[in-house]
Structure 1
Amino acid sequence: MPEGLRPIEYAVLAAIDDRPGFDQRKLAMALGIDATSIGQMVDRLAAMGLVDRTLDPADRRVRLLVPTLLGTSLRQRVRPVLLEAQTRILAPLEPAEQATLLELLARVVEGNDGYARPGSGRRNAKRRDGYMCPGGNGQGLSEP
């Protein structure tokens, strides 16, 4: 990934850029990432100067996430490269097929959303690249 970001970190940065003012808990729920992992990723993004945490005026225990100018700029630089890669990957399909594939994949993800949430009957998470990953081998959901 360009700029030293892991793909999941770019996704977190993009989500923060799209939804400035989300707190970590809401961001974790929106992305289907456990709280520990989202905290580690936000820590890394903040250390890189890409994200700031501000106090929520309504609840001073909560930190709201906002992209920095550097974070927004980085996203704008990297996004065309990622869109080009997506175009290249989907190129064998006709435009209508691409739309269908993306719609079907989104339905599969949404339909299995409960399995990605903490406490959904998975085995204990193991660490991989510093982040908590569901499943016994750190590669995804474990077998039942």
Structure 2
Amino acid sequence: MIWFGFGPTSKIIMAGLLAFFPIMLNVMLGVRSVERGHRDVMTGLGASRWATLRNLELPATLPYVFAGAEVAIVFSVIGAIVGEYLGGSAGLGYLVVSSLNALDAPRLFAVIVLLAVLGSLLYMMVTTAKRLVIPWHESVNTGV
């Protein structure tokens, strides 16, 4: 808030920072999860680095990326709300503060329900994208 002011830039940066780290850590975990033997087979078959990335590492890492995105979308919503809560003059975080200060319980609960619905919809969008991009992952987990 101090560096970027009280405008929307600080809220976007806060949400982005909170979303970045879960995705980065899961990508690192996903790349490390690729078995050495699979990489050796790709090298033995004469695959280029690009072909290895495209055909082995990317498909193996995608479930980890989406797992990180599921966590990151929740963190980013929380970051945006906290940013508005701390220094906003508009937005849902500001409505929480103003309704709390005015002791307006119905409006406070309405905003909280709206935030819960918004977070749930964003989470469902990520899980839907996960099902569309990596449909083989769901069938492995459910045993179908």
Structure of larger gyration radius? 2
Structure with greater contact order relative to length (CA < 8 Å, sep ≥ 6): 2
Q: TM-score, normalised by structure 2?
A: 0.27
User: If each structure's helix is expressed as a fraction of its own residues, which one has the higher value?
Assistant: 2
Q: TM-score, normalised by structure 1?
A: 0.27
